[in-house]
A and B are shown apart, each in its own frame.
Chain A
Amino acid sequence: MQKVNSPADVAKMRDYCQAAFARRKLRFLVCAGTGCIAGGSLEVYEEFKRVISERGIDINVDLLFEGQESEAGTVTSGCHGFCQMGPLVRVEPMGTFYTKVKAKDVEEIVTATMDENTVVERLLYEKDDGSHATTELDVPFYNRQQRIVLGGCGTIDAEDIREYFAVDGFKALATILQDLSPEQVIEIVKDSGLRGRGGGGFPAGRKWEAGRNAKATPKYVVCNGDEGDPGAFMDRSVLEANPQSVIEGMTIAAYAIGAEFGVVYVRAEYPLAVVRLLKAIEQAKEYGVLGDNIMGTGFNFDIEVFQGAGAFVCGESTALTLSIEGKRGMPRVAPRPRTTEVGLYDKPTLLNNVKSFAYVPDIIREGAEWFKGIGTESSSGTAVFALTGNIVNAGLIEVPMGIKLREIIYDIGGGIPKGGTFKAVQTGGPSGGCLPESLLDTPIDYDSLDEAGSIMGSGGMVVMDERTCMVDVARYFLNFTEEESCGQCVPCRLGTKQLLEILNDICAGKGKKQDIDLLIELSHSIHGGSVCGLGQTAANPVLTTLRYFKDEYEAHINDKCCPARVCKDLISFRINEDKCKGCTLCARACPVSAISGEKKEVHVIDQGLCIQCGVCMEKCPNKFSAVDCVSPKIPVPAKEKTEVPA
Chain B
Amino acid sequence: MSKVTITIDGLQISADQGMTVLEAAQANGLYIPNLCNHPDLKPAGLCRVCVVKMDDWKIAISCKQPVKDGMVISTEDPEVQQIRKNTVELIVADHPMTCLTCEADGKCELQRVAHYVGITPEGLNRYRRKVRAIPIDRSNPFFDVDHSKCILCGICVRTCDELQNINAIDYAQRGVASFISTLGAKPIADSRCESCGECVVRCPVAALAPKGAQEPMREVKSICAYCGVGCGVMLGVRGQKVVSVQGDRDNPVNKGSLCVKGRFGYKFINHPERLKTPLIKKNGKLEEATWDEALELVADKFSKSKGDKFAALASARITNEDNYLIQKFTRAVMGTNNIDHCARL
Contact = CB atoms under 8 A, between A and B. Distances in A.
Contact of B66 (A335, A490, A518): A335
Interface string A106-122: 00000000000000000
Contacts of A496: 175-176
Given A487-B152, A497-B94, A528-B83, 5 more contacts: A334-B64, A490-B152, A494-B93, A518-B126, A529-B48
Contact of A497 (B51, B87, B173, B176): B176
A485 interface: yes
Contact of A483 (B59, B66, B82, B175): B175
Contacts of B170: 328
A501 B130 contact: yes
Contacts, number: 116
Contact of B93 (A498, A524, A529): A498
A526 B174 CA distance: 17
Given A487-B176, A489-B48, A493-B178, A528 B79 contact: yes
B46 A521 contact: no
A526 B51 CA distance: 12
A342 interface: no
A528 to B, nearest CB: 5
Contact of B86 (A491, A502, A505): A491
Contacts of B94: 494, 497
A120 B176 CA distance: 56
A328 B154 CA distance: 14
Contacts of B91: 490, 494
B60 interface: yes
Interface of B: 44-49, 51, 59-61, 64-66, 79, 82-83, 85-87, 90-91, 93-94, 126-128, 130, 151-152, 154, 170-171, 173-178
A589 interface: no
B47 A486 contact: no
Interface string A464-495: 00000000000000000011111111110111
A313 B46 contact: no
B171 to A, nearest CB: 6
Contact of A487 (B65, B90, B175): B175
Report which residue of A313, A489, A494 has the largest number of chain B beta carbons within 10 angstroms of its beta carbon. A494
Nearest to B90: A494
A493 to B, nearest CB: 6
Report which residue of B45, B65, B79 has the largest number of chain A beta carbons within 10 angstroms of its beta carbon. B45
B127 A491 contact: no
A525 interface: yes
B45 A502 contact: no
Contacts of B83: 491, 524-525, 528-529
A620 interface: no
A525 B47 CA distance: 13
A525 B87 contact: yes
A638 B93 CA distance: 34
A484 B90 contact: no
B175 A529 contact: no
B66 A488 contact: no
26 contacts: A311-B174, A333-B46, A334-B64, A482-B175, A482-B176, A483-B174, A483-B175, A484-B174, A484-B175, A485-B175, A487-B152, A487-B175, A489-B45, A490-B46, A490-B90, A491-B83, A491-B90, A493-B175, A493-B176, A494-B176, A498-B93, A518-B126, A521-B82, A524-B83, A525-B82, A531-B48
Given A335-B60, A491-B48, A531-B45, A486 B174 contact: yes
A242 to B, nearest CB: 33
A267 to B, nearest CB: 16
A572 interface: no
B128 A498 contact: yes
Contact of B173 (A487, A491, A526, A531): A487
Nearest to A486: B174
Contacts of B175: 482-487, 493, 496-497
A487 B64 contact: no
A400 to B, nearest CB: 35
Contact of A485 (B45, B46, B176): B176
Contacts of B86: 491, 495, 521-522, 525-526, 529
Nearest to A485: B175
Nearest to B79: A528
B82 A488 contact: no
Contacts of B154: 488
A533 B130 CA distance: 26
Contacts of B174: 311, 313, 483-487
A524 B85 CA distance: 12
Contacts of B151: 490
B46 A501 contact: no
A245 interface: no
A155 interface: no
Contact of A333 (B45, B93, B126, B176): B45
Contacts of A224: none
Interface in A518-567: 518, 521-522, 524-526, 528-531
Report which residue of B171, B174, B178 has the largest number of chain A beta carbons within 10 angstroms of its beta carbon. B174
A514 interface: yes
A529 B127 contact: no
Q: A-B pairs with the 8 shortest C-beta distances?
A: A487-B178, A525-B86, A333-B45, A501-B128, A494-B90, A485-B175, A529-B83, A529-B48
A483 B174 CA distance: 7
Contact of B44 (A328, A333, A494): A333
Contacts of A489: 45-48
Contacts of B130: 501
Nearest to A501: B128
